[in-house]
Amino acid sequence: MKIKIESNKYYLPKNKVDNNDLNKDNPEWDMLKISEKTGIQTRWIAGENETALDLAVRAGNLLLNSSTNVDEIDLLILVTQSPDYFLPTSACILQDTLGLKKNCMAFDVNLGCSGFVYALAIAGAIIESGVAKKGLVICADTYSKYIDKKDRTCRPVFSDGASATLISSSNDDQLGPFVLGTDGHGFDKLIVEKGASRNPHNINEESNNIRMSGADVFLFTLNTVPSCINELLLKSSIEISDVDLFVFHQASKIVIDNLIRSMSLDEKKVFINLENTGNTVSASIPIALKDAEDSNRIQDGDLIMLVGFGVGLSWGATLVKWSK
């Protein structure tokens, strides 16, 4: 598509939780073994009264204050699984808070780890069709609010955060093609079971926490992502060596290491930043993309592959021709 990423910013909350903090709450945990598997040393956790929408506002303002005329934006997509309310749509509140014009379409996308890639596809299609001219894709999640402090599977991995990415039209094809997929049979492998219509939360019951089958999600990733990448290469008529940088969803070190091994990827071409950011769910790819840009891992004209995968179960991949 003749669409480009014009600018990209992110925001992490102020509360910092390192491995020593986790060990204080859980002295029986083998933090050395956990950190070897996750690769994560630091997580950023939203405050008690700080929501994903609050983080989205922060990230959005960082972008708007640095790069564009707010009146030019006529499309807003908020990717989140941590909405402030069941209704109204959080994107509607975000439109008003950011001061976007009223003739701006705004809607939520309820996706996690693949959400940024899906949102790029949606925003790109809308802009290329002429329905909108400039889009703001914001990803924000606060999974920490669903995680018990004793949860050894989820607490060492997930981090809160938000990203804001400005999408606009381009004279050249800079985005796509896309490979997107879903395996809803595995919906229960990463789930918050209580609180919505299927299983309403009772205040007298145990709190509403996330549950993840780490082994199943890991196997899903290794079985799905390589074929997703190969399909994208075939669809693009390129070789894997033509890709200058791979930016995966920052799931964990063990996941990315196994993807590198299974695909025989050049480690120097895989960007990893999860050590100091954690797994920020939908925001992990755009956050990693920004860090890669800031650390000069991306040069003008580079071909970048973005690959998201996880909760749903869902996956998506695309190519970005980088233009400064």
Q: Which residues are catalytic?
A: 113, 249, 279
Q: How far apart are CA 213 and CA 150, in angstroms?
A: 16
Q: How far is Cα 122 from Cα 77, in angstroms, rounded to an integer?
A: 9
**One-character DSSP codes across 87-153:** SS-HHHHHHHHHT--SS-EEEEE--STTHHHHHHHHHHHHHHTTS-SEEEEEEEE-GGGG--TT-TT
What φ, ψ does residue 20 adopt, rounded to 5°? -65, -40
Here the tokens at position 268 are: 């120097």
CA distance 198 to 260: 38
Q: SS3 of 312, please?
A: coil
Q: Which helix (H) or strand (E) holds 224?
A: helix 214-236
Residue 161 Cα distances to 10, 64, 294, 323, angstroms: 8, 17, 18, 25
